[in-house]
């Protein structure tokens, strides 16, 4: 019985999130109310609050899912013959692909000013921390294989990866016609600089 109840709760949570996503796409994030989300999902507003707390938490859930999928795939593709640059490019590329599929450009344009400062940025702290941890884990993997110097501060490198990837993604996602090939080339150059450094050996 407990398992059934948990599945029902998870289904309701999923239905609320999908109802919110449809409204965010149609009306924008700011114009969508909890009452509209509740009505769309066929539940009461207090139920939405009980499951998520508010709109920001729903949005965070919607944005985390594509990155979690990307991080899972990137980890699954790791092997002893993997290359640090290729692995970081793959992680960034997967996150970009799934996030572009998750949200329309109009919604990214609305959200862009709030993703780096203010309450929305604070709410996204755990999401960013998860991406930093995924990049850090990749780099630690390569340190253990001797493909990344032991002296490299992987926490700093992973944070740099996340922060720049966020900026570059917002630029891409808010373009009228996102040029993913140009974005991928640019990110490979930036990540190559991170991986290879600037100093002569």
- What 8-state DSSP symbol labels residue 78? -
C-alpha to C-alpha distances, 177 to 48, 86, 100, 180, 189, nearest whole angstrom: 35, 26, 12, 9, 22
What is the pTM assigned to this prediction? 0.87
Residue owning tokens 């944005």: 63
Local structure of 153: helix, strand or coil: coil
Instruction: Give the burial string for 72-93 (b: 16+ CB within 10 Å, else e).
Output: eebeeeeeeebebbebbbbbbb
Please report which residue ranges of 77-124 form alpha helices under DSSP H.
84-102, 105-111, 118-123
The domains located in the chain, with CATH, are 1-53 (1.10.10.60), 54-196 (1.10.357.10)
pLDDT attached to residue 121: 83
| pLDDT tens readout for residues 144-197 | 999 999 999 999 999 999 999 999 999 999 988 889 999 999 999 999 999 988
Examine the pLDDT at 200 and tell me if it is beyond 80.
Answer: no
């Amino acid at each position: 019985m407990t398992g059934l109840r948990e599945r029902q709760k998870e289904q309701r949570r999923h239905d609320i999130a999908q109802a919110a996503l449809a409204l965010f796409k149609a009306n924008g994030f700011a114009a969508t109310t909890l009452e509209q989300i509740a009505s769309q999902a066929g539940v009461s507003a207090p139920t939405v609050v009980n499951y998520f707390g508010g709109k920001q938490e729903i949005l965070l859930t919607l944005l985390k899912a594509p990155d979690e999928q990307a991080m899972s795939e990137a980890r699954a593709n790791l092997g002893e013959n993997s290359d640090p640059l290729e692995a970081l490019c793959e992680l960034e590329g997967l996150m970009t692909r799934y996030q572009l599929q998750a949200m329309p450009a109009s919604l990214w344009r609305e959200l862009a000013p709030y993703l780096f400062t203010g309450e929305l940025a604070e709410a996204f702290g755990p999401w960013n921390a998860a991406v930093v941890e995924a990049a850090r884990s990749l780099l630690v993997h390569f340190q253990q294989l001797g493909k990344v110097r032991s002296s490299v501060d992987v926490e700093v490198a992973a944070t740099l990866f996340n922060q720049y990837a966020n900026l570059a993604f917002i630029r891409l996602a808010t373009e009228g016609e996102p040029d993913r090939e140009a974005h991928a080339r640019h990110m490979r150059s930036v990540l190559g600089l991170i991986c290879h450094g600037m100093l002569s050996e």
